[in-house]
Amino acid sequence: MKKTSTRLADGRELIYYDSRDDRVRDAVDQRPLEATRTSSEIRYDAVRDDWVVVASHRQGRIYHPPADECPLCPSRDGRHSEIPDTDYEVAVFENRFPSLTPSPVGAPEAVEGALPGNGRCEVVCFTSDHHASFADLDEEQARLVLDAWTDRTAELSALPGVEQVFCFENRGAEIGVTLGHPHGQIYAYPFITPRTERMIASAAAHRRRTGRNLFDDLLAAELRDPARVVVKGEHWTAFVPFAAHWPYEVHLYPNRRVPDLLALDEAERAEFPRVYLDLLRRFDRLFEPGEGAGDEAAADAGRPAPTPYIAAWHQTPGRARGADGGELALHLELFTIRRTVGKLKYLAGSESGMDVFINDVSPEQAARRLREVGER
């Protein structure tokens, strides 16, 4: 992998990741951009014991532009985008409308109950092909994305004040995606997120109670009774969790427990693209095209309607490595908010008001369906 770092016209960093060492990236951003003006604040919710990011400048971000004005496509035919080059494999750049921003010199002191929204938000473009998706990548391209995630985890974790790095992809307008180009994001938080804190606490309690690792026991239980296993590889296992929150939810674990992406060995890195692409393609075959799935163009072309999903990497935060957080296992959680053809899973009273999920699809039924669509 070759990594080339450059700057956009407003000073934001842009990084190209290429599979060839001889690839030269020297295109210059020709846009007359002014320095970005952003401000965010992190406010403490004393009742829930968690943090809320307030980033009002994001109201002006780009919203569903036409394909010929996509800011994530390469710069071609006189149209300049966030990617100055005419083509790319994988590109990562600082978000123009970030939820978290590096602390400027001379920033005001924190007020009671609030902190400056220090951190960093990056966009990860998986391919220059606007009409593709992650599932359309080949294994070599998917491996390059994995290498980029790993590199960004290492780089961002080393930034002052960063406590946790979160790599993820939102896909589909139903999820709230505002740019159709295949891409994901990376957040570098100045705190450990509430979800991760809960997982660390659960793992620590399990260790005290049993003397064993929680994530080792979860994976072992799924392998003993494979009713919910979707894909089993030599180095990775994908399964629907026993208490899945979402109609179709799959967790992907390395068979060897590791804390983060940096700790994966070459064999695990080599197998990941095949297993992950298999999962994404199964998700796209879950719902038959043309039956109210909301994608007439896909139905007319005979392709499955794209399934909206969120794919989220869970890693051990750097500061937690030496404490109870050392119990946390790297894994990816993939889920869709679509529960059946033409119907979405909405978070209503019980879920949004009380954080108690009600799942319309049993985990065993979901796993069986995901295994079936893999046989087509």
Active site residues: 183
Cα Rg of the chain (Å, integer): 21
DSSP states of 168-223: EEEESGGGT-S--SSEEEEEEESS--HHHHHHHHHHHHHHHHHSS-HHHHHHHHHH
- Please work out, in degrees rounded to the nearest 5, the angle formed at the alpha carbon of residue 14 by the alpha carbons of 11 and 18: 160
With beta carbons less than 8 A apart as the criterion, state whether 321 and 328 touch.
no
- Please work out, in degrees rounded to the nearest 5, the angle formed at the alpha carbon of residue 91 by the alpha carbons of 11 and 158: 65
The half-sphere exposure of 6 on its side-chain side, counting CA atoms within 13 A, is 16
Compute CA distances 178 → 52, 174, 342, whole Å.
Answer: 22, 10, 20
Q: Which residues contact 343 (CB under 8 A, 6 or more apart)?
A: none
Largest Cα separation within the chain, whole Å, is: 64
- Please work out, in degrees rounded to the nearest 5, the angle formed at the alpha carbon of residue 157 by the alpha carbons of 180 and 122: 20
**Among residues 81, 54, 87, which one has the least CA distance to residue 65?**
81
